[in-house]
Amino acid sequence: MLSELILLAIAGLVAGFVDAIAGGGGLLSLPALLWTGISPVEAIATNKLQGTMGSLTSTLNYLRHNLVSPRKLWLAILSALLGSALGASLIQILPNRMLENLIPVLLIGFALYFLFSPRVSDQPHPPRMGVSAFGLVIGFTVGFYDGFFGPGTGSFFTIAFIYLLGYSLPMATGNTKLLNFTSNIVALIVFIISGKILWIMGLVMGCGQIAGAWLGSHLAIRHGSRLIKPLLVTISILMSLKLLTGK
């Protein structure tokens, strides 16, 4: 049991580091939890606990460096909460097979956009959408997706911030963590109520997440798009391959 907890803490650290920069930390953390032999539902619930701890750490660090604008995005925060709550409720009764087939294609498209678009940089660009409309449309729909399915949520938020609001890549990454944390909280509450979380595993892994998120967000702030862009491309492609192969 002790060796399992040590490995989970290490997995949490690496996942938190990757997630703070490019999202997709669940590629590492969820398989690590499943490796211990717990049920898929327990793994998903426990993963949400440790992931929330990491996303909170990243958000606070980006906020401290003025790369997060919670007052400006209050409508997006509220919409993400409502969307995630609805998604987490509907996942109990509706199949998600269509999303499993569609999301890899979208993620590959996002990877190509991150790789080749001149808008993905350290400099802001003119917005294509107002903040209120962004909050209602993107906050709700991506929040709903996170509660209902999940993989690629960070990529969806980041691409929306860059393409629709014209944010620089570091600022898009910081605000993505804010909305990602918001949608995570709702799902976490649902799992707490359902009693599916394995607290010792989740908290130990969460400590690793906090350390990894702190380090990853500091490096992202310091190095900007030079670090974030290649990781975003890599993680988007890896998530696509994982979803396509089912492994």
Q: Which of 213, 189, 185 is closest to 23 using CA atoms?
A: 213
Please give the Cα distance from 39 to 128 (Å, whole number).
44
Residues 21-41 pLDDT 10s: 877 787 788 888 888 888 877
Is residue 152 very low, low, confident or very high in pLDDT (cuts 50, 70, 90)?
A: confident
| Cβ partners under 8 Å of residue 16, min gap 6 | 25, 54, 57, 58, 208, 209, 210, 211, 212, 213, 214, 216
Give me the DSSP letters along the chain: -HHHHHHHHHHHHHHHHHHHHHS-THHHHHHHHHHTT--HHHHHHHHHHHHHHHHHHHHHHHHHTT---TTTTHHHHHHHHHHHHHHHHHTTTS--HHHHHHHHHHHHHHHHHHHH-TTSSSS----SS-HHHHIIIIIHHHHHHHHHT-TTHHHHHHHHHHHHH---HHHHHHHHHHHHHHHHHHHHHHHHHHT---HHHHHHHHHHHHHHHHHHHHHHHHHTHHHHHHHHHHHHHHHHHHHHHT-
Residues 180-205 pLDDT 10s: 999 888 888 988 888 889 999 999 99
Return the pLDDT at 94.
64
Q: Which residue segment(s) compose the domain that 127 sits in? A: 2-245
- Say whether pTM exceeds 0.95: no
User: Which two three-digit tokens encode residue 172?
Assistant: 């898009």
What is the tally of structural domains in the chain? 1
Residues 110-136 pLDDT 10s: 778 777 777 767 778 889 999 999 999
pLDDT of 156 strictly over 70: yes
